[in-house]
Amino acid sequence: MVRFWGVRGSIACPGPGTMRYGGNTSCVEVRCGGQLFIFDGGSGLRLLGNELMKGGPREFDLFYTHTHLDHCHGLPFFAPCYDARNRIRVWAGHLKPDAGIEAVLGKMMSPPLFPIPMDIFTAKLEFNDFSAGESLVTHPGVMLRTGLLNHPNRATGYRLEHDGKAVAYITDTEHEPGRLDPNVLQLVNGVDAMIYDSTYTDDEFPAHKNWGHSTWQEAVRLANAAQVKTLVLFHHDPDHDDAFMDRVAAEAAQARPGTIVAHEGLVLRL
Ligand SMILES: [Zn+2]
Ligand SMILES: [Zn+2]
């Protein structure tokens, strides 16, 4: 089961124009093998946390693609961090060897940018840094493959496999026109669901070179080449309102039938 708590990139953008697709930034919940895996902790993480406080698992894993603010600023507002019964394993693959995830999140939660330091958390947090490209087995029967993405300050793509099913979470990443990224192809090969950074359209892309993002058309090209079952467009530009996203959805469904534009609250069962 995959549930989307935040589907937006760059900055949260609530308002009447984004009511249907949602305004919260990246956060995706995956449940498999009796475990909870969280991918990214953008503003959508707050909502997931409130849900978990109603009786969710006390032990789970939080994987960061990277630490740009839209992917980690939900942490101080994640209620499970303030409950001593919880044990949260935090993972990142983009910081070694120069830095570590604990220190980077600590920097975000330090005055005068934020009033309280991470010491305020009463949950047991365990921080793990790995190098994108490594495979992780955090629970028996669940395989997590990772790969380096093309993004300023680096980012990690993930492929989670369990019980013959696979889902790939690929954000944020920029493609090189005319050349499918081999790291991405490897991660998404044959997956049941590919969640992909579709910030721009191909028309918008040239004006945003080196901003570290991709397009929904590139998502289609990758999904076709890698024989992906269901393509899920993700990390929407905050300036793309519901009407714009409806147009993307219609064009994408024509280009690749079955393509889904992620919206807040979307649940996929693989
Ligand atoms: Zn982002
Ligand atoms: Zn980023």
- Taking alpha carbons only, the member of 191, 148, 130, 247 closest to residue 2 is 191
DSSP H helices, 147-215, are 182-188
Note the pLDDT tens digit of each residue in 94-130.
999 999 999 999 999 999 999 999 999 999 999 999 9
Instruction: Label residue 248 by pLDDT band (50, 70, 90).
Output: very high
Q: Is the pLDDT of residue 56 over 90?
A: no
Taking residues 217-236, what's their average pLDDT? 98
* Structure-token pair, residue 252: 């994408």
Full-model pTM:
0.98
How much of the chain exceeds pLDDT 70, in percent? 100
pLDDT at 270: 93
Residues 122-177: tens digit of each pLDDT:
999 999 999 999 999 999 999 999 999 999 999 999 999 999 999 999 999 999 99
- Number of the ligand closest to the Cα of 66: 2
Q: What's the CA-to-centroid distance between 68 and ligand 2, angstroms?
A: 5
CA of 237 to the centre of ligand 1 (A): 9
- Greatest Cα pair distance, the chain, in angstroms, is 50
Cα of 8 vs centre of ligand 2, distance in Å, is 11
DSSP state of 134: B
What residues does the ion ligand 2 have nearby, CB within 5 Å?
A: 68, 172
Q: Structural domains in the chain?
A: 2-268 (3.60.15.10)
